[in-house]
Chain A
Amino acid sequence: MEFLTIQNNQRVDISSIPVLQYEDFSSFIIDLINDNDNHCVNYYGYQDNNQIKLICCIANDTQHVIYVTSSIVDKNSELNSISKKHLSFEKFEREIHENFGINFIGHPWLKPVRYAFNRADKTKTIANYPFYTIESEELHQVGVGPIHAGVIEPGHFRFICNGEQILHLEIQLGYQHRGIEELFLQKKELIQRATLAENIAGDTVVGHSVAFANAWESLCDYTPSEALQFDRALALEHERIAIHTGDLSAICADIAYQLGNSVLGRLRTPVINYFQQWCGNRLAKSLIRPFKTNFPYNEYLSEKWFEVFDAFLPDFNEICEQIFDLPSALSRLEKTGVVKTEVAAEIGMVGVAARASNFNRDIRFSHPFGYYKNESFNSIMGKNGDVYSRSKIRMDEANQSISFIKEMLKKIPNHEIQEGEIINEPKPNSFVVSLVEGWRGEICHCAITDEKGELKHYKIKDPSFHNWLALALSVRNEGISDFPVCNKSFNLSYCGHDL
């Protein structure tokens, strides 16, 4: 067997993952990815007895399964690049190169990704990042950041422009690197790890904490109760509504449409505040915990939810209609920052941005977990992959999530705590992949335990990891003044990428 077939959140023995020679490993991956239904959800390496074990997880969207395969290579070895054939591996290989000094021959450009503290080559620093340079005197460079004018995270954007036209954009990140993956191993208490998961990306608290909770429970062979699954799906969809509304407001701000900005900003507040009523935190921190919930959902909260959304829906639909009817807004949104479907497929885009480019990547549908298993879920697709599509899909998805929650609330499962429930420790020598569709897209957490059942390696992948490249490509040949609205339409996470 060349691979192991598993499902989302299925615990397997690490020894059951086949170990291939690197040549077989890479040609096998290339064969798999040639099929359009397959995409790589995670490809990473970790140190195993002075060698590097590479693990590649490829998800098949139609069969709803994940293929896992692995290979063992030496540090600082030279390997043939997979990115040469499939560009979507570009960043994964750069990451492995950065961490272990492995050289991928034929890779387009092996640059550091995030300047991890334990990187292989310490001489490479954020100050001497190898930017793409120009010789021509007719072109000019514009550097933006890492300190920005607004309250956003640090990241450096370097544009090569011909007058007002962007020819090339290079995005350099890594300023937010905190070593979260390493912290997961250092912090031994479950509550510490759950808190860490909440802080991977501040705008995807529910997404990442559900991914962690699912991964941890799978490691312990624990099946969450119906009530827990209900809470998680509800929180995920509610987070989606809140952030999508906020994003639409911010897009309006970037095109200087004041009415849209202020109305949507006002609408977002009660949605976010609903989390406060539920769990005492507006960002839903401490809401999702493995094995339990500290804030069981009840009839009272359900009533409150309907109160919030009875007020929200009419205004939301009215203002969205206004925005998507306003000629001056349309002229800014339409045909700006286009990512074609083929490009989206080539670079492996995920989530809401991929769906706006008419490229279906939706974990809720392709690898359903928990509550989503029982629901038929149709992803909403955009057409053109421009800023308009990415804005419109946010409105449609917010509406879809609202009706989804309305259906959910018809039957609230029993939240009474069952006495005498046995909670196991994580099983030794196990491997688990946990996929969650956060509001931004596919979140992937991979966990490996050692022979004592201790966490040996924890790997996190935020959807931003794939999509930053899409932003860089989408602004090519656009006016530089359209960059901010393109950027906002993707709304990618810096700290989710930098970890």
Chain B
Amino acid sequence: MLSFILVILVSFVFTGVVIRTKSIASGRKGPGIMQPMKDIYRLFRKGAVYSETTSIIFQIAPTIYFSSVVMAIMVLPFGHTRGLISFNGDFIFFAYVLALGKFFSIIAALDTGSSFEGMGASREALFSMLVEPAFFILIGSLGILTGYTSFHEIFMTFHFSTYITYAIGVLVTFVLAMICMIENSRMPVDDPKTHLELTMIHEVMILDNSGFDLGLILQTTNLKFAMYGALIANLFMGNLVWYFTIPLFFMFQFLFAITVGILESFSARFRMSHNAQFILVLSSISLLVFFVILMIMNKF
């Protein structure tokens, strides 16, 4: 329950912090931290316009997308406290409930019949598919190391004690952060600021959404950011007491948001054809973690 509430709280300001960081990095003052939420609130009060060529899929997709992420957040533990849903193998549930939401957002994009949205959908499908092995190898390896298969128990048992665990911690953080960037279609894979339909991935899929639906999709992005941030924070919180973990949690989310902002400010995005390569690199880093863990466990 605690993680659920905290993630939702963080989601309100996460994108705001990212945008503010980018503004400051480019020498501008930038909008207030709450501006993205104000925009979403404005959208929530609007009605949606549906194109005549779309079917019911297009109308229900944003809601399914949103609720899939909310479901995934419920799985997340918080230090000592379990998530709202917690069982053996819940990380598989976590991954596939997210995939369900993504599936619906993809077929909704195809439903519009627009050539842009089809392109965006195919890119999103490809990148999500490539990112999946990275996530499973990573969490699976942690499962082998700790001997458990639910998020709560994995994170409770994972301790930083030796140099090798620090190394694993760094790699896991990097891979999770990058998965987050890919899943949220941010730099270096996608550029959320662009106005060019032909280069977009996620943005182009939601071109036809408006009003309430669009607000829902935007809030889902915020939630996803906070969710992955929470996953990374959990890795380091272990079984500390709550008055340490809560400030630590906020600190991690804040640092993560600033890192995202800085990353997006000082580099150009990848060429589309390099994205697949880059995502495969994440899988190979996960494999590296996997082999290191096998070596620690003397399982060779």
Contacts and interface: CB of A to CB of B under 8 A. Distances in A.
Interface in A230-280: 252-259, 261-263, 266
Given A150-B195, A483-B198, A332 B26 contact: no
Interface string B101-128: 0000000000000011011001100000
A161 to B, nearest CB: 8
A256 B271 contact: no
A256 B191 contact: yes
Contact of A479 (B265, B269, B271): B271
Contacts of A254: 194, 196, 199
A462 to B, nearest CB: 24
Given A262-B28, A328-B188, A481 B199 contact: yes
A121 interface: no
Interface size class on chain A is 20 to 34
Contacts of B26: 258-259, 261-263
Interface stretch (A34-42, A104-112, A139-147, A293-301): A139-147
A329 interface: yes
Nearest to B200: A481
B45 interface: no
B162 interface: no
Contacts of B199: 254, 481, 484
A483 B122 CA distance: 18
A285 B267 CA distance: 37
Contact of B268 (A140, A262, A266, A332): A332
Contact of B267 (A142, A144, A326): A326
Nearest to A257: B268
Given A266-B27, A479-B272, A259 B266 contact: yes
Contact of B115 (A142, A164, A253): A142
Contacts of B119: 142, 164, 480
A482 interface: yes
Contacts of B195: 149-150
Interface in B118-166: 118-119, 122-123
Contacts of B265: 258-259
B32 to A, nearest CB: 19
Interface string A68-102: 00000000000000000000000000000000000
A143 B115 contact: yes
B196 A142 contact: no
Nearest to B201: A481
Contacts of B213: none
A331 interface: yes
B198 A480 contact: yes
A141 B115 contact: yes
B87 interface: no
A149 B197 CA distance: 7
Contacts of A332: 268-271
B196 A149 contact: yes
Contacts of B118: 140
B264 interface: yes
Contacts of A252: 268
B274 interface: yes
B11 to A, nearest CB: 24
Nearest to B272: A481
A484 B269 CA distance: 14
A254 B194 CA distance: 7
A481 B196 CA distance: 9
A469 B266 CA distance: 34
A331 B266 contact: no
B53 interface: no
A119 B134 CA distance: 61
Interface size class on chain B is 20 to 34
B299 interface: no
A343 to B, nearest CB: 22
B289 interface: no
B198 A140 contact: no
Contacts of A143: 115
A432 to B, nearest CB: 42
A266 B27 CA distance: 10
Contacts of A329: 267-268
Contact of A484 (B28, B123, B187, B198): B198
B82 interface: no
Given A140-B115, A149-B197, A256-B191, A482 B264 contact: no
A336 to B, nearest CB: 8
Contacts of B264: 256, 258
A290 to B, nearest CB: 40
Interface in A148-207: 149-150, 163-164
Interface string A477-491: 001111110000000
A193 B186 CA distance: 50
A255 B273 contact: no
A470 to B, nearest CB: 19
Contacts of B25: 258-259
B122 to A, nearest CB: 8
B20 interface: no
A336 B273 CA distance: 12
- Residue among B22, B187, B268, B270 with max Cβ neighbours from chain A (10 Å): B268
Interface string B183-209: 000011001011111110000000000
A329 B271 CA distance: 9
Nearest to B207: A149
Nearest to B267: A328
A471 to B, nearest CB: 14
A482 B271 contact: yes
Contacts of B188: 328
Given A142-B116, A258-B264, A150 B196 contact: yes
Given A141-B115, A142-B115, A266-B27, A256 B273 contact: no
Nearest to A141: B115
A253 B26 CA distance: 12
A259 B271 CA distance: 18
Contacts of A482: 271-272
B269 A328 contact: yes
Contacts of A481: 198-199, 271-272
Interface of A: 140-144, 149-150, 163-164, 252-259, 261-263, 266, 326, 328-329, 331-332, 336, 479-484
Given A140-B118, A142-B119, 20 more contacts: A144-B198, A149-B195, A149-B196, A164-B272, A164-B273, A254-B196, A255-B268, A256-B264, A257-B267, A263-B27, A266-B27, A328-B188, A328-B267, A328-B268, A331-B271, A332-B269, A332-B270, A480-B119, A482-B272, A484-B198
19 contacts: A140-B118, A144-B198, A150-B195, A163-B122, A164-B123, A252-B268, A254-B194, A255-B269, A256-B264, A257-B268, A258-B25, A259-B265, A326-B268, A331-B274, A332-B271, A479-B272, A482-B272, A484-B198, A484-B199
The 6 A-B residue pairs with the shortest CB-CB distance in the complex, in nearest-first order = A256-B191, A262-B26, A257-B268, A481-B272, A256-B269, A484-B196
